[in-house]
Structure 1
Amino acid sequence: MLSDHLPAYEASGPDGAPVVVLGSSLGTDRHTWDEQVRLLERRYRVVRYELPGHGGSATRAPGATIPVEPATTGAGGRTIADLGSGVLRLMDHLGVPAAHHVGLSVGGMVATWLAVHHPERVNRLALVCSSAHLPPAEKWLTRAAIVREQGMGAIWESVVAGWFTPAWHDPQRLARIRETFLAVEPEGYAQCCEAIASTDLRPGLGDITAPVLAVAGAEDRSTPPEMSEELVAAVRAAGGDARLEVVDGAAHLSAVQQSATVTALLLEHLDADRAGHAAGMRVRREVLGDAHVDRAQLGTTTLTVDFQDFITRYAWGDVWARPGLDRRTRSAITLALLAALGHDGEFAMHVRAALRNGLTVDEIREVLLHLGVYAGIPVSNHAYGIAQRVLTEEGLG
């Protein structure tokens, strides 16, 4: 019988906030998520757990252990169910009835198992470079045998070759990742390999009720985008809510290589349950366009994360989404106010937004003419110049 020890873990973020559970990939530890946690912990209680034998050099919460005892589940060794049960014990220990679950690679397989078998414990599900099934089993069993006999160093070169694209170059980060990898207990790593080898979650994907975000690295050879497509299609076929985002310039450890993009995708997915956020994000994208909103999301920092959330919920969710005025009218009002107040950057952005909202060039001209009467000729003249530049760029000048 497997130990009832808790996985090693670290919790951060405000007490009482919605909980996000993060699971890492095979051969890494909780620090894989450092860039994402910097922003997530601003408004979520973030719990990062370690796989068996992983994170041995990490500072662990009192009483937390990394179980690496031999598995006794039969010839197949440890299973995804064993790993998932450890996460459930951790949630019970922390008094968390349900949480958002985010998993990278095998961490995603664990999160998927939870969503299939314990849907009441999963609010939203985000799977990064993961799959419901990773054949052939022989590959994983062979790898388990090698690390048991020769140690972690014997497979480092072959494993890291699939983690990043050839263009990625960060020697310091790579050195830390290598140090973490070599510190993993071979027995714990081998047991996780056995868990992957025996896993096929495809038959249960239709039972997932949590909204699913699947993130795939465009150049990921370990879990290529086709695997995420298969998972998303299965959830959708059963009437579930699932979407796929493919991240360019990323291989398997996309959360490290393209951390800003992955963070933005996770924030948008997890924040959808926050009051007003989903409606606000929908309106914001419809008015400003995906390209602009994506740039804003990618530029989010620990300084601006709360402001981005505020304008999405308040400006776009509470005001722009109100039924009292149509969007064409709101655009006309916004253009006049921004020009009168001298907010040139915002004014240019909203000229484009006005076009998306259905204002014609003639109507924009009338707004700016009206502006000259009530805000002054110099103000109107300056606004005409900015509008002309934008319209020319849009092919309407």
Structure 2
Amino acid sequence: MPQLDVDGAVLTYDDEGPRDAVDVPLVFVHGWTANRHRWDHQLEHFRAGRRVIRLDLRGHGESTGAGVRTIAELAADVLALLDHLGVERFVLVGHSMGGMISQTIALAHPERVERMVLVNSIGRMTYSRGRGLLMAASTLVPYKLFVATNIQRAFAPGHPREEIREYIRSSAATPREVVMTLYGAMRAFDVLERAGEIRTPTLMVHGYHDVQLPVRQMLRLAKAYPDAEVRIIDAGHELPVEKPAELTAALDRFLAVKG
């Protein structure tokens, strides 16, 4: 598996599909405590006819590194990888925190982003006072319980328990420093007032049962975008693994539209 040294981290990534494809590469960015394998279904589907790039963000999956404090710093890692690969223009697909990273890139480098897909992502995390206090208190419990509670809540009711347990184990393997620091980074992330600047054609796909980042927060972001398409799917927050085929079909339709 290829790796790249970037500012104190070793990023593990996949770069598959034809280099001479007519369409620009697809770049998949996973979310908090996850890894690049969230996109297995999409990689398998698209790599036959299109270049597909995905990575483990620093401190996640098979990538090393810590010390990152902001979403912008994660965005810089993604751009460093794309520059290394010689990819100038691309389509960004970001899940949850990966969608925050994608928006950060689109705002800073609009000329490089042909299209963007935000999966279960928002522009600002907003809570009632009571919910905010509950979230703050959750950081005080033992680390593994904190991770387990967040991952359990991410899935819609009825998702197989054995799969959820496996995702909990995988997430809990992420270093505590990385998880807690980026938890704070997500809470501090806010591009809602600048969303109108993003002229990139954008698809927002969201799980109807998402309680981590509720649909209403995504719709608030969609209203601010000048060119956004919205699709709601019967899933929770982990849409890429809860309903992978439906997400892939939505991507296919969005990418097939020329213009």
- The question of 1:156 aligning with 2:123 is answered no
- The question of 1:9 aligning with 2:7 is answered no
Query: Once the 2 structures are TM-superposed, how far is the Cα of residue 176 of structure 1 from its aligned partner?
Result: 3.1
Give the distance between the partners of 1:11 and 1:120, measured in 2 at CA: 22
Give the distance between the partners of 1:91 and 1:98, measured in 2 at CA: 9
Q: Which ranges of structure 2 fall in alignment gaps of 5 or more residues?
A: 1-5
Deviations along 1:62-119, one digit per CA (max 9) or x if unpaired, are xxx5221x34xxxxxx111111111111110111111100011000111011111211
Contact 2:151 2:164 in 1 (8 A): no
Query: Once the 2 structures are TM-superposed, how far is the Cα of residue 140 of structure 1 from its aligned partner?
Result: 6.6
Instruction: Describe how 1:108-123 pairs up with structure 2 within 5 A.
Output: 108-123=99-114
Describe the shift of the 1:178–1:51 C-alpha distance in structure 2 as closer, same or farther (beyond 3 A).
same
Give the distance between the partners of 2:50 and 2:161, measured in 1 at CA: 29
- The question of 1:87 aligning with 2:78 is answered yes
* Partner of residue 92 from structure 2, selected from 98, 101, 117: 101
Given the two structures, how large is their TM-score scaled by the length of structure 2?
0.87
Contact 1:53 1:185 in 2 (8 A): yes
SS at structure 1 position matched to 2:54:
strand
Query: Once the 2 structures are TM-superposed, how far is the Cα of residue 203 of structure 1 from its aligned partner?
Result: 1.6
* Partner of residue 204 from structure 1, selected from 194, 197, 200: 194
2:210 alignment partner in structure 1: 220
1:50 alignment partner in structure 2: 56
Amino acid at match of 1:207: E
- The question of 1:234 aligning with 2:224 is answered yes
Query: Once the 2 structures are TM-superposed, how far is the Cα of residue 270 of structure 1 from its aligned partner?
Result: 2.1
- The question of 1:29 aligning with 2:14 is answered no
Amino acid at match of 1:266: L
Q: Which ranges of structure 1 fall in alignment gaps of 5 or more residues?
A: 57-64, 72-77, 279-397
* Partner of residue 65 from structure 2, selected from 58, 63, 67: 67
Query: Once the 2 structures are TM-superposed, how far is the Cα of residue 22 of structure 1 from its aligned partner?
Result: 0.6
1:265 alignment partner in structure 2: 250
Contact 1:20 1:100 in 2 (8 A): yes
2:178 alignment partner in structure 1: 188
Which structure exhibits the higher relative contact order, with contacts defined as CA atoms closer than 8 Å and separated by 6 or more residues? Answer: 2
SS at structure 2 position matched to 1:162:
helix
- Root-mean-square deviation (CA, aligned residues, Å) is 2.2
Given the two structures, how large is their TM-score scaled by the length of structure 1?
0.58
Give the distance between the partners of 1:158 and 1:170, measured in 2 at CA: 13
Identity of aligned residues (%): 30
Contact 2:17 2:47 in 1 (8 A): yes
Describe the shift of the 1:166–1:210 C-alpha distance in structure 2 as closer, same or farther (beyond 3 A).
same
1:309 alignment partner in structure 2: none
Describe the shift of the 1:139–1:83 C-alpha distance in structure 2 as closer, same or farther (beyond 3 A).
farther
Query: Once the 2 structures are TM-superposed, how far is the Cα of residue 142 of structure 1 from its aligned partner?
Result: 5.9
Amino acid at match of 1:245: R
Describe the shift of the 1:96–1:122 C-alpha distance in structure 2 as closer, same or farther (beyond 3 A).
same
Contact 2:148 2:168 in 1 (8 A): no
Describe the shift of the 1:174–1:158 C-alpha distance in structure 2 as closer, same or farther (beyond 3 A).
closer
Amino acid at match of 1:201: V
Give the distance between the partners of 2:236 and 2:54, measured in 1 at CA: 22
Amino acid at match of 1:43: G
SS at structure 1 position matched to 2:156:
coil
Amino acid at match of 1:23: V
Give the distance between the partners of 2:47 and 2:137, measured in 1 at CA: 39
Deviations along 1:271-323, one digit per CA (max 9) or x if unpaired, are 324xxxx7xxxxxxxxxxxxxxxxxxxxxxxxxxxxxxxxxxxxxxxxxxxxx
Contact 1:140 1:193 in 2 (8 A): no
More strand by share: 2
